[in-house]
A and B are shown apart, each in its own frame.
Chain A
Amino acid sequence: MRYLDEFSDPDLARRLLDQIHAAATRPWALMEVCGGQTHSIIRHGIDQLLPKGVEMIHGPGCPVCVTPLETIDKALAIAAQPGVIFCSFGDMLRVPGSGRDLFAVKSAGADVRVVYSPLDALTIARENPDKQVVFFGIGFETTAPANAMTVHQAERLGVGNFSLLVSHVLVPPAIAAIMESPRCRVQAFLAAGHVCSVMGTGEYPPLAAKYRVPIVVTGFEPLDILEGIRQTVVQLEAGRHEVGNAYPRAVPAEGNPVARAMLAEVFEVTDRTWRGIGMIPGSGWRLAPRYRPFDAEHRFAVTGIHTEESSLCRSGEVLQGLIKPHQCAAFGKQCTPRNPLGATMVSSEGACAAYYAYRRLDLVSIS
């Protein structure tokens, strides 16, 4: 396909790799924030082609992985109620809550449906006026515009039986939280390209300056990732810490002003607990007061939730880049994509699932 194939050209990849090898004289630790990039890096083995000492630390940018356990448990409770059609992206179905997952609730008879887009859930609501239709609205700034538009449409079209269970998370506060951690080893960031397609690059210069880290907006194809790494290493070697854009074909500096205006109308900033990491101030979006009638948490009074995480799972450390997935004792043993103990093993963007899919056979060589 156009603009996919060209950006995985092996000959150009080799040239970019040569440049990275020529530039790197010291060890550096770079974090790719986005789970989509983690997936691409592990799938193409990019981390193993880098100069010795240039390490990719996998960040918390998998929305499925960081959705708080309490929210998952709320989703399970709402989905189990009679008269509810609960709609979700497919990869949320196997995310373990305290004890069970949405798939189990569905098997027990609940009407849980996988949709491609939140607009599909709105259509289902219009077709089933006697049912309450709830969409599980998770994701980063990339996904938020879709959910914002859907709620906006629900209000405009008067679809009163539609609501959103919202748990949006934001990248810049997460970068700040990672840098504030006393165990932080990260020296530079590859920022998530599609988050910036929406939000632009304006939020990053203060972070780059405050924490003295290069931040390079990076795409998802192999050449995009190599170029992001190349620009980052060149900055690090020169002692610079600037915001760069290695994905200009999809990221104008201002992002998408139309989408940003809609986000500002529909959502407001809130503190958010990230699963495995903890509370990060100002790191989430919830519905603004005007749209609260469409907030599933207000419509369904769900109380008495007692969350309980698996005691074996170390996904919190994986999400913070403190350990690699195969360093978890349960990896590939008690925990597999078919029987995941943690969310990082469920989503294809979770680091544990990526290592399981592509690294099972050569675990010895990487441990």
Chain B
Amino acid sequence: MCLAVPGRVISITEADGTTMAEVDFGGVRKSVCLQYVPDAAVGEYVVVHVGFAIQRLDERSARETLENFERLGILKEEFR
């Protein structure tokens, strides 16, 4: 139950004074509370756990991490 998964914000609405969002998880859509990530925008990825976005997923950082992995491998090959 501790798993949190990234999803993409499709639309943002207000309900009972609470910011909610429709979030897409690879085709499955769920209503998610956005109160903890108030500046998340439509189109952005958020990390969602039990119906709450708990963090935004930083796309640039994700790309950098993957690029670092690529580089790790290449560096090693050069040293061989």
Contact = CB atoms under 8 A, between A and B. Distances in A.
Interface in A188-209: 192, 194, 197-198
A16 B73 CA distance: 7
Interface in B1-47: 1-6, 8, 16-18, 25-26, 30, 33, 35-38, 45, 47
A18 B76 contact: yes
A1 B47 contact: no
Interface in A123-143: 139-140, 142-143
Interface string A1-16: 1111011000010011
Interface residues on B, range: 35 or more
B79 to A, nearest CB: 9
Interface in A220-272: 220, 223, 227, 248-252, 255-256, 258-259, 262
A283 to B, nearest CB: 16
B36 A256 contact: yes
9 contacts: A22-B76, A62-B2, A89-B50, A143-B2, A146-B50, A194-B3, A227-B69, A250-B57, A258-B38
A115 to B, nearest CB: 9
A349 interface: yes
Contacts of A61: 2
B41 to A, nearest CB: 16
Contact of A145 (B16, B30, B52, B72): B52
- With a 10 A CB-CB cut-off, give which of B2, B6, B35, B55 has the most chain A CB atoms: B2
Contact of B1 (A1, A91, A220): A91
Contacts of B3: 36, 194, 220, 349
Given A1-B26, A62-B2, A194-B47, A146 B52 contact: yes
Contacts of A19: 72-73, 76
Interface string B46-73: 0101111011011101101110011011
A341 interface: no
A12 B73 contact: yes
Contact of A258 (B2, B17, B36): B36
A250 B1 contact: no
Contact of B49 (A143, A258, A349): A143
A102 interface: no
Contacts of A4: 5-6, 26
B69 A12 contact: yes
Contact of A248 (B50, B54, B58): B58
A250 B50 contact: no
Interface string A91-112: 1000000000000000000000
B73 A18 contact: yes
B51 A250 contact: no
A3 B52 contact: no
Interface stretch (A43-51, A149-157, A302-310, A326-334): A149-157
Nearest to A156: B17
A143 B50 contact: yes
A36 B2 contact: yes
Given A197-B54, A250-B55, 16 more contacts: A3-B6, A3-B62, A15-B73, A22-B76, A64-B1, A142-B4, A143-B2, A145-B36, A146-B49, A149-B35, A149-B52, A156-B17, A194-B3, A197-B4, A252-B58, A256-B54
A254 to B, nearest CB: 11
Contacts of B38: 258
B33 A119 contact: yes
A250 B47 contact: yes
Contacts of B8: 2
A118 B51 contact: yes
B48 to A, nearest CB: 10
A197 B52 contact: no
- With a 10 A CB-CB cut-off, give which of B1, B3, B55, B61 has the most chain A CB atoms: B1
- With a 10 A CB-CB cut-off, give which of B33, B52, B58, B72 has the most chain A CB atoms: B52
Nearest to A19: B72
B56 to A, nearest CB: 8
Contacts of B35: 149, 258
A200 B55 CA distance: 11
Contacts of A187: none
